[in-house]
């Protein structure tokens, strides 16, 4: 390893392959885990909720621990990159087993679900945290890091499309075929075959098989990412001090740029998850359309729009600076979200919302790679100030914060609807409920985006400041 910054196109594509692999499985966690545990695996809804909630908390808390482990790893391949190779296959195997439905008693099935899901989250953390930290060591050059981050986000969306495409193809392939219940073809009272109408009616073995396909593809892309990338920036591990872990945590606690950037990341995730969670209600209560079809359609369109934002992130930030770009994007997100409050319940309102949603998602996509690049700036700042880069810890704790942000956004949706008097299964479009739904898509995202702007105003690692920091780091290594 050396401090060269002339990374090849193959390295950038290879780095993107890592998030392609992660996103393929992350979409399964996000969209299919609740329905799998309740409708396929057979858990009671309350047990499934507790399982997912407790595992999410464990997953978030384990991130910094994995970051510190990665920071103290030394191999001929580097510090973070080896985990792409080491964990790829175990991750695929555990992922497949998680979506396997054993023929156990209910109590044993519940234990099996906890064990496999916790193991899956552990494997995901073990590969994804070091992968994220790699951005800090693939180059010293600020522009090149931004390019790497853009490749990462671009392939993340590609991974989402691949995963969703596989599941969509699978669902279409089984719709119209005869249902099998207890190993026996199902028939109605008249003796006619009962046909499958959605993926929820698939056989457990079919779900396991389709997840196994995604798992194998994910492992292949993790291994390709390992083979195609390099760690150009050499970071020494400090194993001499017994209190080094405590020292790193104390340094992180005093790292003001990390706090401001992490808060902005949390708030952006709150905006995204809040809008996504409120989308079905906005379609059914405000636009008067299909909650499922409308939300899936617009979430897909949103991902394409975010991908567009990713592609223009580097030129925009090169012209305006990353801090200014994020502040302006957050301002645009808040402004266009406010306009949603005035969308009428009519066909014209559908198209107005379409345009507003598209614009908001472009700005969200533009911010995403910039945040990851700026976390690498925070790592460089930490290295100069504390003589310890702690790249893994910084990226992992940021990952933890983002998971909390996503959870907060989802909780806000449930909380606001609950306060408005919403009850599941009750077809009611009261004024208070409709106002709450509009608020979740307009006023609340605007307020949260505004708080993000306030946070970013305190971020001190400007372009000029980072040039100075990198110059001092380079001088200290001569």
What digits encode the pLDDT tens for the residues 401-437? 777 787 777 678 777 877 888 765 455 567 888 898 8
449 and 465 in a single domain? The answer is yes
Higher pLDDT, 36 or 438: 438
Mean of all residue pLDDT scores within the chain: 85
341/421: higher pLDDT: 341
Specify the pTM. 0.77
Kindly state the average pLDDT of the residues 346-350. Answer: 85
Q: State the average pLDDT over residues 190-209.
A: 79
pLDDT of residue 425: 47
Same domain as 251, residue 222: no
pLDDT band at 90 (very low <50, low <70, confident <90, very high): very high
pLDDT tens digits, one per residue of 200-243:
677 888 889 999 999 999 999 999 999 999 998 876 555 544 44
Residues 329 and 182 grouped into a single domain: no
148-174 tens-digit pLDDT: 988 998 998 888 888 878 877 887 788
Q: Is the pLDDT of residue 5 over 70?
A: no
Domain count, the chain: 2
- Output the domain CATH number for residue 289: 1.20.1250.20
Residue-level pLDDT at 116: 96
Q: Which two tokens stand for residue 368?
A: 């995403």
Q: If you average pLDDT over residues 469-473, what whole number do you get?
A: 86
* Per-residue confidence (pLDDT) for residue 478, from 0 to 100: 63
**How far apart are alpha carbons 297 and 286 in whole angstroms?**
16
Residues 196 and 254 in one domain: no
Cα Rg of the chain (Å, integer): 23
100 and 33 belong to one structural domain: yes
User: Please, which contacts does 169-178 make with residues 24 or more away whose CB atoms are closer than 8 Å?
Assistant: 170/199, 170/202, 170/206, 170/210, 171/198, 171/199, 171/202, 174/199, 174/201, 174/202, 174/206
Tokens representing residue 301 in the block: 């369109």
**In which domain, by residue range, is 106 found?**
1-237
Which two structure tokens, joined as six digits, stand for 264? 């902005």
- Over range 11-34, report the average pLDDT: 86
């Amino acid at each position: 390893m050396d401090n060269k910054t002339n990374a090849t196109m193959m390295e950038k594509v290879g780095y993107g392959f890592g998030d392609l692999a992660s996103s393929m499985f992350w979409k399964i966690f996000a969209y299919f885990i609740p329905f799998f545990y309740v409708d396929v695996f057979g858990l009671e809804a309350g047990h499934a909720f507790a399982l997912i909630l407790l595992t999410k908390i464990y997953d978030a808390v384990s991130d910094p621990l994995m970051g510190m482990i990665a920071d103290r790893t030394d191999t001929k391949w580097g510090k973070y990159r080896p985990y792409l190779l080491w964990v790829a296959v175990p991750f695929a195997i555990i992922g497949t087993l998680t979506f396997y439905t054993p023929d156990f008693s209910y109590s044993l099935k519940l234990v099996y679900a906890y064990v496999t899901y916790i193991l899956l989250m552990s494997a995901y953390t073990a590969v994804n945290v070091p992968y994220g930290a790699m951005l800090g060591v693939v180059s010293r050059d600020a522009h090149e890091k931004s390019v790497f981050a853009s490749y990462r986000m671009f392939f993340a969306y590609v991974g989402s499309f691949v995963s969703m495409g596989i599941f969509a193809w699978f669902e279409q392939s089984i719709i119209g075929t005869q249902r099998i219940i207890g190993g026996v073809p199902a028939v109605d009272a008249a003796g006619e075959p009962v046909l499958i109408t959605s993926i929820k009616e698939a056989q457990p073995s079919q779900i396991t098989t389709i997840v196994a396909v995604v798992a194998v593809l994910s492992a292949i892309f993790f291994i390709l990412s390992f083979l195609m990338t390099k760690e150009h920036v050499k970071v020494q591990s400090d194993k001499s001090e017994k209190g080094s872990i405590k020292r790193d945590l104390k340094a992180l606690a005093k790292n003001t740029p990390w706090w401001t950037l992490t808060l902005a990341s949390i708030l952006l995730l709150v905006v995204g998850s809040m809008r996504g969670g409120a989308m079905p209600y906005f379609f059914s209560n405000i636009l008067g359309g299909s909650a499922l079809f409308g939300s899936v359609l617009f979430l897909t369109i949103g991902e394409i729009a975010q991908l567009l934002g990713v592609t223009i992130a580097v030129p925009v930030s090169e012209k305006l600076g990353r801090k200014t770009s994020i502040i302006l994007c957050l301002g645009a997100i808040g402004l266009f979200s406010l306009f949603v409050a005035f969308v009428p319940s009519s066909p014209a309102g559908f198209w107005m919302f379409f345009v507003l949603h598209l614009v908001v998602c472009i700005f969200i996509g533009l911010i995403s790679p910039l945040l990851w690049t700026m976390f690498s700036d925070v790592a460089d700042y930490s290295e100069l100030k504390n003589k310890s880069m702690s790249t893994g810890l910084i990226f992992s704790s940021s990952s933890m914060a983002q998971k909390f942000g996503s959870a907060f956004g989802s909780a806000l949706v449930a909380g606001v609807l609950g306060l408005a008097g919403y009850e599941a299964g009750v077809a009611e479009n009261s004024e208070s409920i409709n106002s709450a739904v509009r608020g979740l898509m307009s006023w609340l995202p605007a307020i949260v985006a505004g708080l993000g702007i306030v946070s970013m105003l305190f971020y001190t690692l400007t372009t000029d400041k980072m040039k100075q920091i990198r110059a001092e780091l380079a001088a200290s290594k001569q």
